[in-house]
Amino acid sequence: MKLSRKLVHILSGLFFMVSWPLFSTSSTSRYFASLVPLANGLKLLVYGLSLVTDEGLVKSVTREGKPEELLRGPLYYVLILALCAVVFWRDSPVGLISLSMMSGGDGVADIMGRKFGTEKIPYNKKKSWAGSISMFAFGFLTSLGMLYYFSSLGYFQLNWVSTVKSVAVISFLASVIESLPIGELIDDNLSVPLATMIIAYMCFSL
């Protein structure tokens, strides 16, 4: 179930981004796109508050199989999807990189960390070198893939030499932030994408 949960984590964000070019060129299309994760957020609220029960849903997206978990990481995840769609949409690299790090980077980090994470990071024994390295690598590659996809469709133009350097810096810093022992204070589904937004905004606004 842990693997299926992480596959949902990885694929939901990536498929959401890939679908953005299917929406119209209307200025309101970003709001229609955001309705998809917001509808899922409403569903998570209903099941998380145990107003309705769905054991399959709870097991597929939570760590411990408790309905109240839906109100934390999974809910933050869909809210970040909606936020990036509304604020950045498809004409900015910032939202794409943020969602790529949250979905591809953080998602793969957990899978690889559980499988190969015998060597723990000294300052956080809950995290491993394998997980952090995987987050950097897959976050970096996923971000570049999404940027190439949207730039090839003409949504923005990039200087690829500087872009690769910027994405490498962003991926590294996001991986460092994910490795910090702050999980009890702020969920990865908030800390990683929000920090990535700030860093990416600074990199692509200079």
Domain range summary for the chain, segments of one domain joined by +: 2-205
β-strands 120-121, 124-128 pairing:
antiparallel
- pTM of the predicted structure, to 2 decimals: 0.93
CA torsion sign for 96, 200, 98, 78 is negative
Report the distance separating Cα 125 and Cα 110, nearest Å. Answer: 14
Residue 5 CA, distance from chain mean position: 14
Q: Residues of the chain with pLDDT > 90: what percent? A: 81
Residue ranges of E strands in 3-123: 120-121
Direct distance between the N- and C-terminal alpha carbons of the chain, in angstroms, rounded to an integer: 43
Span 81-138, pLDDT tens digits: 999 999 999 999 999 999 999 999 999 998 999 899 899 999 999 999 999 999 999 9
* pLDDT confidence tier of residue 40, bands split at 50, 70 and 90: very high
